[in-house]
Amino acid sequence: MYPKIQIKLSGIIENVKRTKELCKQNGISLAVVTKLLADNREIVQAIVESGVDYICDSRIQNLISYKDINTEKWLIRSPSNDEIPDVIRYADASLNSEIETIKKLNAEAKKQGKTHKVILMYELGDLREGCLKPELEEIAGEALHLSNIELYGVGVNLSCYGEIVPSEKNMKELEEVVLELERKYNIKFKMVSGGNSSSFNMMKNGRLPNSINNLRMGEAIYLGNIPCFEEKIDEFNQDNFIVKAEIIELKEKPSVPWGECGLSNSFGEHSTFTDRGTRKRAIIGLGKQDVKLEGITPLDEGIIILGGSSDHIILDVSDSEKQYKVGDIIEFMPNYAGVLSCMTSKYVQKEIVR
C-alpha cells in the first residue's frame, strides 16, 4: 500500500558499525538516538544487536515499547512531571537541567527502590536546554546529596535550534567546566556527552578534548549526513530511506489559480504562483499531514514540487522524460525532517528491506 517509506535496514546497520568503530578508535562511547524511528522495534532491536553501547530517545513512550530490549536506555528530553514514574521505571538515565525535576526523580526512584542516573545539561550557546555555569555548579552540588540519584555526567546539545556548531573553543569550554566540577566536588563523571551528529568530524579527526567520552548520534547513522554542515560522510550509506507515493490524478491545468482569492490557504499560508502556462500536474496520495514538503526531493530531476494540502502533494511533471500515468509511483529522497515526519505518520506504511 502507498504511501510508504522504504527502509534499508542493512545500510543503517552498516552505518552503525562504522560509527561505532570510529568512536572506539577515538575513545568515545556511542549512544544511538532512536527518535527518528518513531517506535519501530524491529530496527531498534537490530541496532542493539549490532553492539551499540546505549540507545536514547526523547519520548518515554518509545522507551516503554523497548522495555524488553536489553541495553541501557536514556531519555534525552527533560521529563515532564507526569512522566516521572515511567522515566524511573523504564529509563536508566535522563538528561536534565532543572533541580526541581531531579528532586522529583529522586523521590520517585526512592519509592521504586531504584537509583536513577542523571546527566546535567550545560548551555553552550545553541539555546535549547541547558544551564549556565553558576546554575550547573549549584545543581550538581544539590544532586550529589540526593540518595537515589547518580550524578552520571554532563552533556551539551548543539546544532538543533540555534545552528551553533561544535568547535575547539566550545568543546574546550565543556571540558573546563567538567574538570572544574570534578575538582570542586572531588568526583569523576562517568559520562561527558559532547553533543550529536554535528560533532562527527571532530570525533573522527581526534579533535575532541580527552574529557569528552560520549556522543549521541542519529542523523549520521540513518542518513550518512552531518547536520548543520549538510556534509555527506564518505563510505556511509545515504539512501537508507526512500519515500514512495502513488499518482491519483494527472491532468494538464493552468499554473495559476483563478477566481477571488482569500487571505490564506487551509494551513494559514499565503501562496504566490508563477505563470508558466498550462502544465502537466500530478497529484499524489501524500500530504502535509504525513511529510514535511521541504524535507523530500523527487528522484526524478524533471519533477517540481508545487505545494500541497493535508492529504495531497501537487507536482509539475511536464519536464520529466518519463510519461507518467495514474497509478504510477513517484519516489523521493527524504532529509532528516522528511524521514521523521513520515516515520511518525501512521498513514505512511513502513517497509523494511533487509
Q: Which of 137, 134, 126, 136 is nearest to 195 (CA)?
A: 126
Q: Report the CATH fold assignment for 8-232.
A: TIM Barrel (3.20.20)
Which regions of the chain are under pLDDT 50? Answer: none
pLDDT at 272: 85
CB atoms within 10 A of CB 191: 19
Per-residue pLDDT at 169: 98
Phi-psi region of 138 (alpha: psi -120 to 50; beta: other; left: phi over 0): alpha
pLDDT value of position 197? 98
Q: Taking the CB of residue 286, how many other CB atoms lie within 10 A of it?
A: 28
Q: Where in the chain are the domains? A: 8-232, 241-353
> Which pTM value belongs to this model?
0.95
Predicted local confidence at residue 261, as pLDDT: 85
Q: Which residues are catalytic?
A: 35
**pLDDT score for 347:** 98
pLDDT number for residue 49: 97
Q: What is the pLDDT of residues 36-63, one digit of tens each?
A: 999 999 999 999 999 998 999 999 999 9
Dihedral angle over CA of 345, 95, 88, 37, nearest 10: 20
